[in-house]
Amino acid sequence: MDEHFAVRPELLVGARLRLKERRTTRHFCSVYDGSLVSERSSSEQSWHLRILIVPHRREWKFSGRNQITKQIKTSPLLQEIQSDLRRRAKQSVKASAQKFVPTSQRVYGVTMPEVNELAKKYKSGGFQLTEKLWKSGAFEERMLAAKLLRFFCKKDPERSLRQVKRWSKDIQDWAVCDTLGMQSLKPIARLSAEDLFAVSESLVKSKNLWQRRLSLVLVEELTKYPEHHARIRKLVARLRSDDEYYVKKAVGWLDRNLKKRIGRK
């Protein structure tokens, strides 16, 4: 393997690139799992090519006859955050995260107090920064994206709800799921309760276990308000017989919360 082989080739997945061939024919293609798939309607031809990264140039090259002529742009702010995460990363923290969040994928190894510190530092980054962090895909990057959304979800509640619902398809672990459900929309939970229930009621039917868990975690904040208890119980009832461990845990969690709230009346 070449020493410049991309450490994170998954960053290319879904990227649209312009290629230039020897015959000067130009067309667009998309990158899927390290393969180039032509978008020309007349052909299903695909190229399985080695991905090489040229250090410090943000330019991707491929072996064979094709060469990328359009660079992939990365946000300077995203690069700054990633550099900060790498600087703070510790192997012991990474090992701990992989133990307690076993389904997480790429992990830097940064503690949650430090991720919270970064959230405060970059809270003015706005919706665009959260999207870039989420797409980048590492465990701490997605945790940070979910935490950042809380700071400005009030500016555009509808956009925030759409964003959380869209992101829910990508969830891979309970920690990101619960941060997204409990923190991202907390400032708008009560005022946007109807919209929150609409999202939950659509996710509760999903085949994706993390979306089903999220359907309950999203309304956890609303267990504080008796007027919403009946509707929450209906959501819980729909998942009471769910076989997935992480969904069962969410069912038990909401059951306990509802009992506590009733006991405080």
Residue 48 sits in the same domain as residue 111 = no
Structural domain range at position 22: 9-68
pLDDT digits (tens, 9 = 90+) for 168-178: 999 999 999 99
Closest CA to 87 of 108, 58, 113, 56: 108
Nearest 5 degrees, angle CA 200-CA 192-CA 113?
Answer: 80
Residue 102 sits in the same domain as residue 230 = yes
Q: What is the pTM of this model?
A: 0.71
* Burial zone of 37 (CB within 10 Å; 0-12 exposed, 13-18 middle, 19+ buried): middle
Closest CA to 176 of 121, 122, 100, 251: 100
Residue 243 sits in the same domain as residue 114 = yes
Residue 246: pLDDT band (50, 70, 90) is very high
Residue 111 sits in the same domain as residue 174 = yes
Report if residue 79 sits inside a domain.
no
Residue 100 sits in the same domain as residue 37 = no
- pLDDT cut 90: percent of the chain above it: 67
Residue 56: pLDDT band (50, 70, 90) is very low
Mean pLDDT across the chain: 78
Residue 250 sits in the same domain as residue 146 = yes
Residue 221 sits in the same domain as residue 137 = yes
Residue 231 sits in the same domain as residue 100 = yes
pLDDT digits (tens, 9 = 90+) for 10-19: 444 334 333 3
Question: Which CATH number do you get for residue 145?
Answer: 1.25.10.90
Residue 141 in tokens? 């990057």
Residue 100 sits in the same domain as residue 228 = yes
pLDDT over 90 (residue 138): yes
Residue 127 sits in the same domain as residue 37 = no
Q: Based on the structure, what is the number of domains in the chain?
A: 2
